[in-house]
Chain A
Amino acid sequence: MSEQGEPRESGAPGESGEPGEPGDGWRRIDKKALLVTGAVMGSVAVGLCLPILLGLSGGSWLGPRARRGTGLLLLLAGAALLVLGPVAAEYVNWRKTRYRVGPDRVELHTGLFFAKRRSLARERIRTVDLAANPLLRVLGLVKVRIGTGEQSGGGESTLVLDPVTRPEGERLRAELLIRAAATPGGHREGVLATVDLGWIRYAPLSFVAPALGGAAAGAVMQISDWFGVQHEVIVHVGDFFRDTSVTMMILTLALAALLAGVVGSLGLWVEMWWNHRLEREPGGTLRVRRGLFTVRSISIEERRLRGVELVEPLGVRLAGAARVDAVATGIGRDDQDKNADLHVLLPAAPRSRAAAVAATVLREPVTPTDAPLTPHPGAARARRLRRALAAALLLPALLTGLGIWLTPVLLHIAAGFAAVALPAAVLLALDAYRSLGHTLSGDYLVARSGTFRRSTVALQRAGVIGWVVKRSLFQRRAGVLTVTATTAAGAGAYSVHDADGSEGLVFARRAVPGLLEPFLETRPETPPGR
């Protein structure tokens, strides 16, 4: 887009000069950054050298008696290099890094090898997020991410100050985000929601638990492999189960992995959601604060909010709960932490509570996500059934083929699998169909779909910035099509799957008056095809 807001770079080294010692508005990042790097690299060094010392040398300490001293010395020198090198680099980085909050722009000069000058126009800044891991917290520091929320250009439209002191971080946040804006509607300010520790019961119900369990089992094998004792672990487990049947063994191991997964998911939940609170600040900013060890503060300007999404993963939905996500433009993605989930406003909570929070966030009396939805035609159900059955029958068919060719045992497995998978597939397909729906509710376009992850999105109609209508050959024969509203916020596009052809288009036409209108034509009767 315009060059405004794009970070500017210049590659002349040295030219960055010393942009003035503090004063002149220029500030440095905190000097304790050196300590942070030192501590991190120190622990890495210990983590690398101790196993070498203890494990690999097999107790005989680095080589035969005569050369023992040399080996030890080498190791220590390596460790020192490992720590001091990055600390020195960090020192140069600290010396070269300056930032300034000017009247119009926020500027950041960095440059380890290349002087890099970047600046963001202040009126374009949409998010100022603070995060502090335990180490930073002990030192009273935070990492600050200042973002414009532009989708283009990858992380380039984000300035990261890593680290500054906590008061400085809060000051930056307040200075950059809170503008004197008239609050529309005079809706509730202050704390909108806080976490209820009882909600931890929904944590193991998500798909995280089995995944973590599998990860735990994998980690055991991986670590034992590092120390070359993987074989012993397997033999040991084998010994343990010597007197039990294979089925028992598999069941026990699966149960153990699942248990580890449940414990892991509980731990993860506590780490992520401890002390969670969702607030509305004067000036129209939503703020989420949460975290046990790593404390985060995520701000979303309400001007950037285009709606909310109620997300119900299968297990959580069966327990009658839902999560509330913000659909907003310019929510950054923390590249270092994939679990950050910066758009989650409320973790899985009882559905009525989630609906209430969604309504408060949108400043509506009732949340549009609870509006009665238009169901989709029967063809959509038939499509889902057909797809589910095909998926469920693929493996049994393959096994049957192989079974006829090789051994009848496979035929039994195929029959067993089909007996379980077919009813499950039918149930899931019917559930997927039941989930489908769309409607217009006030200023919002509401669309629901999904069975493993049912999502109900309420998107501001003014936030729709285009339409994509798709129709495959099969959909054409069934008389349905998929209408997708594109938006700058959230996932970028939200779809109404398999709506009745004509009704879906009328829905899109009514959602954004004038946009689709000129490209539609009405036929008095229903001609087949096209």
Chain B
Amino acid sequence: MVSALGIQLGVVGAYLVVALAVGLLAYRLTSRDAEDYYLAGRSIGTVVLLFTTFATLLSAFTFFGGPDLAYRAGPEWILVMGVMDGVLFAILWYVVGYKQWLVGRAHGYVTLGEMLGDRFGSTRLRAVVAVVSLFWLFPYVMLQQMGAGEAIVGLTNGMVPYWAGAAGITVFMIAYVVIAGLRGVAWTDTLQGLFMLGVVWLAVGWVATAAGGPTALSNALATNEPEFLALGGGLYSPQFIISSAVTIAFGVAMFPQINQRFFVAKSSAVLKRSFALWPVLVVLLFVPAFILGTWAAGLGITVPEGANVLPVLLNEYTPVWFAALVIAGAMAAMMSSSDSMLLSGSSYFTRDLYRPFINPDASEAREAWLARIGVALFATLTFVASLFRPGTLVSVGDTAFGGFAQMALPVIVALYWAKTTRTGMFAGILGSQAFYLAHVFVPAIEVGSMTLFGATYLTWDYALWGMALSALLTVGVSAMTAAAPEENQSRFTDGLRAD
């Protein structure tokens, strides 16, 4: 008789090996130049683009953080993520993504920093964008390791410690990125996206059947957590819903791994098709995932310290192997998120920092080698930081999204308003980052009846105020300054062709 622990680790391990095999296959098809390594030769089709972007969004934040939040505070998180991902992000997919795709195709850009640096004739701006992005990428990669650690604790009921889960996923994701590059990542993202979509619905069906059906579950919820069924209340104020949805959506558009995806589509038809499919995919995945967390609250599941609710619920209501399979799917999602993040992060580092500032004549081979070292180092540092567990999955993720969101409006202004100046960009990006960082790190101070550096001003999240400030600074300073002679003002507007 195989022990439960044996089955759990066997299923999770086997899944990771399959993912690695697909990565290796992709590696054999990948040519070695940078454009291919990072962008899979700009040849990604609809299904793969959609799933690769989707799986990249589907990190520990959505798959474990979301159900945890639904378990603690109610299912309204479905609405936040639905508005954010299904509607707002889809619109940004067009406004930022399609525009970047056109610009990138016309001028051959691979990173956001490269695009802005070229438009504004400034390697320094390019570096600022890369540094800010890498800074906020750090907590988000760390989040995946935290998620993996907590999932393993929940699945094995603490028999495998937190650090082992976090370390395991770290080793796996380093190995994977170093070997495969984006084509590998994109392929496995598709595999993982489809797998998760299937498995999460099976999980809902299984739990619902075992617990007596959806009506019995909602009755249990009405008895145990009556306020969960009503829209709003508790954590969920209109301000919270709006602030979270807006900052996350804009933040996601600036995420290196998502933003870089804007350059990879084969044709605009691919972007069009993906655009219309967003809301559907979001509902298909988030409703079941977060409803599971909500049901767990109604069923009176108790979650051990430092674990996720999802594996605990599944262990209670489904067979051991199935619970392990769902966790494997979630780990795979986190891996693909981390893979993409690390890969994009490494391209920001080598192309926007190392090459322009340290060694312009570095050979392709040296750059590729350096990118891999960078990935290993970055992932190791985030792993160490993840051991300190600085917050819940949702709070860490939210902070990172907010940091990226501060960059979104300056970028959008630059993409659409030819009078934007370099000074305006610096003011918008650096000013809002300073504001946001101060609010993340400086403790709240009472000044008279006002709280400075608190979580909100006039009940609205500081991240939202930071975004407003970023737009104001970019537009205001641009209006007051003249363009530098090296700027290419028509770069983002002229010569763009649809196909």
A interacts with B = no
